[in-house]
Structure 1
């Protein structure tokens, strides 16, 4: 039998650990406090500007519920903030299966937490290239790497993890959590996963279309090659 073939899952998964890293921070001021109102013991992992925003929202409560990803992983943000969430402990937490003994042993070995929900939206690539006189370097800088990777990992593991990519989904998620004692069901997670993959597909399509539309001359004009 293949080790990673899942035969048993839980329909309801209580949300205990949430990773939040968003470009669009709208709705957080309501969503985060209401999450904690449903389950005051939720641990929120976050990065950069999102961490600062949630800390501002929570005030004194931040010390109990909010943790920087770098403190959790033990690895500082590197390359000027380009590398924040691409870490073994993060992806172990996202891809872990509840009834897989090897996965659970890996969690114990690394002191990692199973992450139950990812709230991620991406660098504004489409908005950036829509601006007048945008350069290739401006566009390249807005190609998100960690965000799509987290979204895809969470959405792939919809059997346990909720992948949230749209602030417009927050109210509906809170309504479900309130009626299910802080948990989301399999149908809820599956629906969120389908939206997540649609989100990353559109994002990658915009990048591919933009790069394909550039000529080699456009590219060469943007950079000194040392030749």
Structure 2
């Protein structure tokens, strides 16, 4: 097995032409490498002053079928796959006039960018599935004992530097490292195609059957790129890192304005727990179209409100539970003005771990700069949600569609004698958006479109209701408002009437919940006994 292999002949065919002329020129001028090339790459190299051998001259066979067939030829793959240490291989190559290819430089058709276009057609997407490129990469990578394969422009200079040190040769260690990179690249590429095609077919089926627009495929691979190492995980003894989805999975696992990918304007590095909480806060605040603020602590929205602007929304969210807001995450769905920073930093003197928003005014950034440790994230927008979410479990991965069901309040039902007033309905719809972001069993008590009482994650729903009501009463006393005409939202149905009885005792006059319990009649009767209006939505929103 040769350790160092001199490069005498290279085949170059790239979509991303960044640096390729300079790379090919160095190969040809510095080391006398013969350069074979195809189509647009060949034209770019010739225009850059690099002599090339056209692929059709090398194979003796023309490009055909709109370029679909040009490198799928024995003279190409024989030149890549032949074992240099095999007398039989070399004899067969000589018999069929197959010349050895020592370096392949290929990057692939930009399939992911093509299918990301909103107006892409099925036919255009199909034409951007590269066949010859992955085939050459895989052949070269398999024969890494003898062939150097480059699929990333970032490696051009590294290869040239090694050739300078090793008299025009590359080392086995480098060839194997580059081969591994190829298989990572082709795996991600095939995954992107698989996910897109399954999504497309799911969309077609949904258009016919009215079903869900995405059916998780039987198999897929994840391509993840490390963004940074974290100081530690949930606890100091746990190592951790944050990764970003590759382009193959990003259309499914990331929104248009995701947390991972946001610009960190200032502050200490984000911790594992910061990222978990920031993600929950960011997803929660994007439930609203109107200006909204969510203050989140340990995965639960301890303060939430909407208002005519985000500063007013913050003031109302902070008033929900100032004690829990200390050390929390603030998320807003509009640009942050100076006034909002002044309110949390100067008036409330609130310690904040992370502030996340679409953007910031310059005056806000100037004031934030005085809090050097505060992590400030700008996402660039607040649109959309991911399609899929993933959770690891021992031995595998859970994959589900994100809870973004499009609910029409006009289709909600009211089974009780009393119907909600317009004001109660406004508060109920607000509470319904927030409760889906509270850990189940979840109860949220609201008033004036603010989440003033939260009961998260208790083993039984009655305890969650009691907790929410007690916090709501404390909030009303603190805010100087009456603790009556409250509304409550439950993320799942009431299994018994005791939930209604508890809420009624604490001033709740309207309830919103999915319905669907075998004991719904008990809950309806309890509401009628107490004069409470109750709305059934038909959709459960557990968040474990």
Give the TM interval when normalised to the shorter protein: 0.7 to 0.9
1:38–1:177 contact (8 Å) kept in structure 2 = no
- In the alignment, the residues of structure 2 paired with residue 28 and residue 98 of structure 1 have an alpha-carbon distance, to the nearest angstrom, of 27
User: What are the within-5 Å matches in structure 2 for residues 163-178 of structure 1?
Assistant: 163-178=149-164
Q: Post-superposition shift, 1:218?
A: 3.1
1:45 maps to 2:41: no
Tell me what 1:182 maps to. Answer: 168
Tell me what 1:209 maps to. Answer: 195
Tell me what 1:224 maps to. Answer: none
Secondary structure at the aligned position of 1:78 is classed as coil
Runs of 5+ in structure 1 lacking a partner? 1-8, 222-227
Tell me what 2:84 maps to. Answer: 98
Higher mean displacement: 25-34 or 181-190: 25-34
2:63–2:69 contact (8 Å) kept in structure 1 = yes
* More strand per residue: 2
1:58 to 49, 52, 62: 49
2:28–2:34 contact (8 Å) kept in structure 1 = no
- In the alignment, the residues of structure 1 paired with residue 75 and residue 149 of structure 2 have an alpha-carbon distance, to the nearest angstrom, of 18
Q: Deviations over 1:115-135 (max 9, x none)?
A: 111000000000001111211
Runs of 5+ in structure 2 lacking a partner? 208-544
Tell me what 2:124 maps to. Answer: 138
2:144 to 146, 150, 158: 158
Tell me what 1:18 maps to. Answer: 10
- In the alignment, the residues of structure 2 paired with residue 208 and residue 36 of structure 1 have an alpha-carbon distance, to the nearest angstrom, of 38
- In the alignment, the residues of structure 2 paired with residue 140 and residue 168 of structure 1 have an alpha-carbon distance, to the nearest angstrom, of 28
1:118 maps to 2:107: no
Secondary structure at the aligned position of 1:174 is classed as helix
Output the aligned Cα RMSD: 1.4
Secondary structure at the aligned position of 2:49 is classed as helix
Tell me what 2:186 maps to. Answer: 200
Moved over 4 A (4+): none
2:24–2:35 contact (8 Å) kept in structure 1 = no
1:16–1:43 contact (8 Å) kept in structure 2 = yes
Q: Deviations over 1:45-103 (max 9, x none)?
A: 111001111111125xx1xxx20110111100111211010001111100011110111
Q: How many residues align?
A: 206
* More helix per residue: 1
- In the alignment, the residues of structure 1 paired with residue 101 and residue 75 of structure 2 have an alpha-carbon distance, to the nearest angstrom, of 10
- In the alignment, the residues of structure 2 paired with residue 72 and residue 37 of structure 1 have an alpha-carbon distance, to the nearest angstrom, of 20
